[in-house]
Amino acid sequence: MEKKELMYEGKAKKVWTTEDPEVVIVDYKDDATAFNGEKKGTIVGKGAINNRMTNHVFKMIEKAGVPTHLVEELSDRETAVKRVSIVPLEVIVRNVAAGSFSKRMGVAEGTALLCPILEFSYKNDDLGDPFINDSYALALGLATQEEIDTIKEYTLKVNEILKEYFLNAGMKLIDFKIEFGKDKDGKILLADEVSPDTCRLWDVETNEKLDKDRFRRDLGNVEEAYNEVFKRLGLA
Ligand code: TMP
Ligand code: ASP
């Protein structure tokens, strides 16, 4: 399968058309941004790690009954996926307080939550991905009630799978963000990626941060953290 035309370039990936109108190729970059693109940098080797890790995780998730857009990995940075229209919701799950939740709620990072929190942001860079709820999503036509119900069910299942997966590799899944798409028949599929860009992962013993917060917060050893996750998952 060959790349034809550049369809879209995002902050971390390019998307190319192919000869099959139902399939596109995702091409992972080493570019990293934070704070809605204000902070820019490169994380050497990130594209290949995020590509491989996402595909591995998506296969596992698919087996557990949550459909994904994955078709096949083409190279270390490129993957063929089903063409979908992305539901403009960033779906976030929090198991432990951190990041914007800690700031907004005045709860110290690392505080355990009594149950997982599922939250939505409106995926809109111009607005800085504002926090919204189901009513906003319905009223703005971002998704139907049925789609929201499916997305929530899939997301909580993904959380259970990922928590166990990372814990078995010595990491706590603090929180993560996923995105869903709709295929040509309107079927909801897990899309985008699951990687250290989109998950907070802390070492289970020391709470060392092994994710993109090392880049966001200038903590150093950014590449080392991505490589460590990759290695612990047995993917290196
Ligand atoms: P937050 O605490 O900054 O809201 O982030 C929650 C989770 O979502 C965290 O695991 C990082 C991830 N995330 C993204 O994947 N993309 C983003 O643009 C942001 C802001 C967070
Ligand atoms: N999505 C953020 C950005 O817009 C990156 C992040 O914080 O993960 O640059």
> What spacing in Å lies between the alpha carbon of 4 and ligand 1's midpoint?
31
Strand 39-42 versus strand 85-86 pairing type: unpaired
Residues in the chain: 236
Give the ligand whose atoms come closest to the C-alpha of residue 37: 2
Residue 210 in contact with residue 223, Cβ under 8 Å? no
Query: For 101-152, what is each residue's pLDDT tens digit?
Result: 999 999 999 999 999 999 999 999 999 999 999 999 999 999 999 999 999 9
Residue 34 in contact with residue 17, Cβ under 8 Å? no
The torsion angles phi and psi of 124, rounded to 5 degrees, stand at: -155, 105
Confidence (pLDDT) at 99 = 98
Letter for the amino acid at 110? G
Q: Which atom of ligand 2 is nearest to the CA of 177?
A: 8
Mean pLDDT for the stretch of residues 45-60: 98
Q: Is 176 in the pocket of ligand 1 (CB under 6 A)?
A: yes
Confidence (pLDDT) at 75 = 98
Name every protein residue with a CB atom under 6 angstroms from any ligand 2 atom.
11, 33-37, 212, 216
Distance CA 137, CA 124 (A): 13
- Give me the domains of the chain, ranges plus CATH numbers: 6-82 (3.30.200.20), 85-220 (3.30.470.20)
Residue 98 in contact with residue 109, Cβ under 8 Å? yes
Confidence (pLDDT) at 188 = 98
CA-nearest residue for atom 8, ligand 2, is 34
Give the model's confidence band at 211: pLDDT under 50 very low, under 70 low, under 90 confident, else very high. Answer: very high
Confidence (pLDDT) at 67 = 98
Average per-residue pLDDT for the chain:
98
> What spacing in Å lies between the alpha carbon of 75 and ligand 2's midpoint?
25
pTM metric for this prediction? 0.97
Residue 213's contacts (CB-CB under 8 Å, 6 or more residues apart) are: 99, 200, 219
Run of H or E residues at 61: helix 46-63
